[in-house]
Amino acid sequence: MTITDTLFQPETWYRPGRGPRYQQLYRHIVSEIRAGVLQPGDQLPPERELAETADISRVTVRKAVSQLVEEGLIEQRRGAGSFVAAASPRLEQSLSSLVSFTETMKARGMEATGVVLAQGLFAPNPDEMVTLGLAAHDKVARINRLRSAGGTPVALEYSSLPRDILRDPGQVGASLYEVLRRDGSAPTRAIQRVTALSLTAPDAEKMKLPEGSAVLQIVRTGYLASGRPIELTRGLYRSDIYDFVSELRLD
Protein backbone atom coordinates (compact mmCIF):
# COMPACT_ATOMS: atom_id res chain seq x y z
CA MET A 1 0.00 0.00 0.00
CA THR A 2 1.45 3.39 -1.04
CA ILE A 3 1.36 6.57 1.04
CA THR A 4 -1.41 7.99 -1.16
CA ASP A 5 -3.43 4.82 -0.59
CA THR A 6 -3.03 5.33 3.18
CA LEU A 7 -3.99 9.01 2.91
CA PHE A 8 -7.34 8.24 1.36
CA GLN A 9 -8.56 5.37 3.53
CA PRO A 10 -12.02 6.41 4.86
CA GLU A 11 -10.85 6.44 8.50
CA THR A 12 -8.23 9.11 7.73
CA TRP A 13 -10.60 11.75 6.37
CA TYR A 14 -14.30 10.94 6.87
CA ARG A 15 -16.22 11.78 10.04
CA PRO A 16 -20.01 11.29 10.26
CA GLY A 17 -21.88 14.55 10.73
CA ARG A 18 -18.97 16.75 9.57
CA GLY A 19 -20.52 17.70 6.23
CA PRO A 20 -20.84 16.18 2.75
CA ARG A 21 -18.21 13.63 1.79
CA TYR A 22 -16.84 15.70 -1.09
CA GLN A 23 -16.28 18.66 1.26
CA GLN A 24 -14.53 16.46 3.82
CA LEU A 25 -12.33 14.94 1.12
CA TYR A 26 -11.55 18.40 -0.22
CA ARG A 27 -10.59 19.70 3.25
CA HIS A 28 -8.46 16.60 3.87
CA ILE A 29 -6.47 17.05 0.65
CA VAL A 30 -6.00 20.77 1.36
CA SER A 31 -4.72 19.92 4.84
CA GLU A 32 -2.24 17.37 3.46
CA ILE A 33 -0.97 19.89 0.90
CA ARG A 34 -0.58 22.61 3.56
CA ALA A 35 1.25 20.16 5.84
CA GLY A 36 3.65 19.19 3.05
CA VAL A 37 2.58 15.55 2.99
CA LEU A 38 1.45 16.07 -0.59
CA GLN A 39 4.20 17.97 -2.39
CA PRO A 40 4.06 20.03 -5.60
CA GLY A 41 4.20 17.61 -8.51
CA ASP A 42 2.76 14.67 -6.56
CA GLN A 43 0.09 12.84 -8.51
CA LEU A 44 -3.29 11.96 -7.04
CA PRO A 45 -4.55 8.44 -7.66
CA PRO A 46 -6.74 8.08 -10.76
CA GLU A 47 -10.40 8.94 -10.19
CA ARG A 48 -11.58 5.32 -10.20
CA GLU A 49 -8.80 4.18 -7.88
CA LEU A 50 -9.32 7.09 -5.48
CA ALA A 51 -13.06 6.39 -5.34
CA GLU A 52 -12.42 2.72 -4.49
CA THR A 53 -9.80 3.52 -1.83
CA ALA A 54 -11.91 6.24 -0.21
CA ASP A 55 -15.10 4.14 -0.51
CA ILE A 56 -17.05 6.89 -2.27
CA SER A 57 -18.52 7.46 -5.71
CA ARG A 58 -16.53 8.84 -8.61
CA VAL A 59 -18.96 11.79 -8.71
CA THR A 60 -17.94 12.64 -5.14
CA VAL A 61 -14.24 12.45 -6.06
CA ARG A 62 -14.88 14.62 -9.12
CA LYS A 63 -16.59 17.34 -7.05
CA ALA A 64 -13.76 17.46 -4.51
CA VAL A 65 -11.04 17.58 -7.16
CA SER A 66 -12.92 20.20 -9.19
CA GLN A 67 -12.95 22.50 -6.18
CA LEU A 68 -9.21 21.97 -5.68
CA VAL A 69 -8.57 22.75 -9.36
CA GLU A 70 -10.71 25.88 -9.17
CA GLU A 71 -8.61 27.13 -6.25
CA GLY A 72 -5.32 26.40 -7.99
CA LEU A 73 -4.18 23.67 -5.58
CA ILE A 74 -4.49 20.86 -8.11
CA GLU A 75 -3.77 20.99 -11.82
CA GLN A 76 -5.14 18.49 -14.31
CA ARG A 77 -2.96 17.45 -17.23
CA ARG A 78 -4.75 15.98 -20.19
CA GLY A 79 -3.93 12.30 -20.54
CA ALA A 80 -1.74 12.31 -17.41
CA GLY A 81 -3.97 12.92 -14.39
CA SER A 82 -4.26 15.30 -11.43
CA PHE A 83 -1.16 16.75 -9.77
CA VAL A 84 -0.46 19.00 -6.79
CA ALA A 85 0.20 22.44 -8.25
CA ALA A 86 3.42 24.33 -7.69
CA ALA A 87 3.37 26.34 -4.48
CA SER A 88 2.42 30.00 -4.79
CA PRO A 89 5.33 32.38 -4.25
CA ARG A 90 5.40 33.76 -0.73
CA LEU A 91 4.59 37.43 -0.41
CA GLU A 92 6.57 39.64 1.92
CA GLN A 93 5.30 42.87 3.44
CA SER A 94 7.30 45.07 5.74
CA LEU A 95 5.93 45.81 9.19
CA SER A 96 8.22 48.84 9.31
CA SER A 97 6.84 50.77 6.32
CA LEU A 98 3.42 52.35 6.06
CA VAL A 99 2.45 51.25 2.54
CA SER A 100 -0.78 49.91 1.13
CA PHE A 101 -1.49 46.40 -0.08
CA THR A 102 -1.79 47.75 -3.63
CA GLU A 103 1.63 49.43 -3.43
CA THR A 104 3.23 46.30 -1.99
CA MET A 105 1.91 44.08 -4.78
CA LYS A 106 2.81 46.61 -7.48
CA ALA A 107 6.39 46.73 -6.19
CA ARG A 108 6.55 42.95 -6.69
CA GLY A 109 5.23 43.16 -10.23
CA MET A 110 1.90 41.58 -9.29
CA GLU A 111 -1.59 42.78 -10.08
CA ALA A 112 -3.46 43.75 -6.94
CA THR A 113 -7.24 43.60 -7.07
CA GLY A 114 -9.91 44.17 -4.48
CA VAL A 115 -13.57 43.35 -4.14
CA VAL A 116 -15.60 45.61 -1.85
CA LEU A 117 -17.76 43.34 0.29
CA ALA A 118 -19.48 46.12 2.25
CA GLN A 119 -19.14 49.87 2.74
CA GLY A 120 -21.08 52.74 4.26
CA LEU A 121 -21.50 55.10 7.20
CA PHE A 122 -22.54 53.60 10.53
CA ALA A 123 -22.83 54.30 14.23
CA PRO A 124 -19.48 53.38 15.81
CA ASN A 125 -19.12 50.24 17.89
CA PRO A 126 -17.29 50.31 21.25
CA ASP A 127 -13.89 49.37 19.72
CA GLU A 128 -14.19 52.13 17.14
CA MET A 129 -15.22 54.69 19.75
CA VAL A 130 -12.27 53.87 22.01
CA THR A 131 -9.62 53.54 19.27
CA LEU A 132 -10.72 56.45 17.08
CA GLY A 133 -11.94 58.74 19.88
CA LEU A 134 -15.52 58.88 18.63
CA ALA A 135 -18.74 59.63 20.48
CA ALA A 136 -21.86 57.48 20.20
CA HIS A 137 -23.58 60.11 18.01
CA ASP A 138 -20.65 60.24 15.53
CA LYS A 139 -20.51 58.31 12.27
CA VAL A 140 -17.78 55.95 11.15
CA ALA A 141 -16.95 54.96 7.58
CA ARG A 142 -16.43 51.23 7.12
CA ILE A 143 -14.97 49.37 4.15
CA ASN A 144 -14.69 45.58 4.04
CA ARG A 145 -12.58 44.25 1.16
CA LEU A 146 -11.28 40.96 -0.21
CA ARG A 147 -7.75 41.51 -1.52
CA SER A 148 -6.20 39.33 -4.22
CA ALA A 149 -2.75 39.09 -5.77
CA GLY A 150 -2.36 37.58 -9.22
CA GLY A 151 -5.97 36.43 -9.03
CA THR A 152 -5.51 34.54 -5.73
CA PRO A 153 -7.43 35.74 -2.65
CA VAL A 154 -4.81 36.48 0.01
CA ALA A 155 -6.40 38.83 2.54
CA LEU A 156 -9.56 40.20 4.09
CA GLU A 157 -9.39 43.78 5.36
CA TYR A 158 -11.99 45.46 7.59
CA SER A 159 -11.29 49.20 7.87
CA SER A 160 -12.97 51.93 9.93
CA LEU A 161 -12.32 55.67 9.73
CA PRO A 162 -14.02 58.78 11.19
CA ARG A 163 -16.57 60.35 8.88
CA ASP A 164 -14.64 63.64 8.57
CA ILE A 165 -11.60 61.69 7.32
CA LEU A 166 -13.52 59.60 4.78
CA ARG A 167 -16.87 61.21 3.97
CA ASP A 168 -17.71 58.90 1.10
CA PRO A 169 -16.60 55.25 1.49
CA GLY A 170 -17.92 54.61 -2.01
CA GLN A 171 -14.97 56.45 -3.55
CA VAL A 172 -12.52 53.79 -2.31
CA GLY A 173 -11.55 51.25 -4.96
CA ALA A 174 -8.32 49.26 -4.92
CA SER A 175 -6.39 51.51 -2.51
CA LEU A 176 -7.70 53.25 0.61
CA TYR A 177 -4.41 55.05 1.19
CA GLU A 178 -4.47 56.48 -2.34
CA VAL A 179 -7.78 58.20 -1.54
CA LEU A 180 -6.53 59.41 1.85
CA ARG A 181 -3.31 60.81 0.37
CA ARG A 182 -5.27 62.63 -2.31
CA ASP A 183 -7.30 64.30 0.45
CA GLY A 184 -4.24 64.97 2.60
CA SER A 185 -5.48 62.75 5.41
CA ALA A 186 -3.32 59.62 5.14
CA PRO A 187 -1.74 58.30 8.36
CA THR A 188 1.95 59.08 8.89
CA ARG A 189 2.56 56.35 11.46
CA ALA A 190 0.78 53.26 12.76
CA ILE A 191 0.83 50.66 15.50
CA GLN A 192 0.27 47.08 14.38
CA ARG A 193 -0.39 43.97 16.43
CA VAL A 194 0.09 40.54 14.86
CA THR A 195 -1.59 37.38 16.11
CA ALA A 196 -2.35 33.94 14.69
CA LEU A 197 -5.89 32.62 14.56
CA SER A 198 -8.16 30.18 12.76
CA LEU A 199 -10.63 31.29 10.11
CA THR A 200 -14.32 31.28 10.92
CA ALA A 201 -16.67 29.71 8.40
CA PRO A 202 -17.85 33.05 6.83
CA ASP A 203 -14.29 34.39 6.39
CA ALA A 204 -13.04 31.01 5.14
CA GLU A 205 -15.73 30.97 2.45
CA LYS A 206 -14.70 34.44 1.26
CA MET A 207 -11.03 33.43 1.06
CA LYS A 208 -11.81 30.03 -0.50
CA LEU A 209 -10.06 28.19 2.32
CA PRO A 210 -11.22 25.40 4.64
CA GLU A 211 -12.86 26.52 7.87
CA GLY A 212 -10.27 26.65 10.64
CA SER A 213 -7.35 27.45 8.32
CA ALA A 214 -4.50 29.29 10.05
CA VAL A 215 -4.15 32.97 9.14
CA LEU A 216 -2.24 35.97 10.43
CA GLN A 217 -4.35 38.73 11.93
CA ILE A 218 -2.97 42.27 11.91
CA VAL A 219 -4.83 44.99 13.77
CA ARG A 220 -3.50 48.41 12.74
CA THR A 221 -4.21 51.84 14.21
CA GLY A 222 -3.07 54.68 11.95
CA TYR A 223 -2.30 58.19 13.17
CA LEU A 224 -1.97 61.63 11.60
CA ALA A 225 1.18 63.67 12.26
CA SER A 226 -0.81 65.51 14.96
CA GLY A 227 -1.21 62.23 16.85
CA ARG A 228 -4.91 61.83 16.07
CA PRO A 229 -5.96 58.19 15.40
CA ILE A 230 -7.85 58.04 12.11
CA GLU A 231 -7.70 54.42 10.94
CA LEU A 232 -8.59 51.08 12.52
CA THR A 233 -7.99 48.13 10.20
CA ARG A 234 -8.26 44.45 10.99
CA GLY A 235 -6.65 42.31 8.31
CA LEU A 236 -6.63 38.53 7.89
CA TYR A 237 -3.76 37.27 5.73
CA ARG A 238 -3.06 33.78 4.39
CA SER A 239 -0.20 32.40 6.46
CA ASP A 240 0.74 29.84 3.81
CA ILE A 241 1.80 32.50 1.29
CA TYR A 242 2.23 35.69 3.33
CA ASP A 243 5.25 36.74 5.40
CA PHE A 244 5.49 39.91 7.46
CA VAL A 245 9.02 41.18 7.87
CA SER A 246 10.41 43.85 10.22
CA GLU A 247 13.88 45.35 10.41
CA LEU A 248 15.37 45.90 13.86
CA ARG A 249 18.11 48.43 14.56
CA LEU A 250 20.24 49.07 17.62
CA ASP A 251 19.37 52.56 18.86
Q: Looking at residue 30, what is its pLDDT?
A: 84
CB atoms within 10 A of CB 200: 11
Domain with 37, as residue range(s), is 3-84
Of 48, 67, 84, the position where a domain reaches its end is: 84
Of 22, 57, 84, the position where a domain reaches its end is: 84
Of 84, 115, 140, the position where a domain reaches its end is: 84
Q: Looking at residue 94, what is its pLDDT?
A: 59
- The stretches in the chain having pLDDT less than 70 are 1-5, 87-111, 174, 242-251
Looking at the structure, tell me whether residues 63 and 101 fall in a common domain. Answer: no
Q: CA 153, CA 115: separation in Å to the nearest integer? A: 10
Give the CATH number of the domain where residue 180 resides: 3.40.1410.10
Q: For 128-138, what is each residue's pLDDT tens digit?
A: 999 999 999 99
Q: Looking at residue 92, what is its pLDDT?
A: 60
Number of structural domains, the chain? 2
Instruction: Name, in order, each residue with C-beta under 8 angstroms of 94's C-beta and a sequence gap of 6 or more.
Output: 244, 245, 246, 247
Q: Looking at residue 131, what is its pLDDT?
A: 96
Looking at the structure, tell me whether residues 237 and 126 fall in a common domain. Answer: yes
Q: For 56-110, what is each residue's pLDDT tens digit?
A: 999 999 999 988 887 778 888 888 889 998 766 555 665 666 666 666 666 556 6
CB-based burial of residue 27 (10 Å sphere; 0-12 exposed, 13-18 middle, 19+ buried)?
Answer: buried
Looking at the structure, tell me whether residues 104 and 227 fall in a common domain. Answer: yes
- What pTM, to 2 d.p., does this model score? 0.63
250 assigned to some structural domain? no
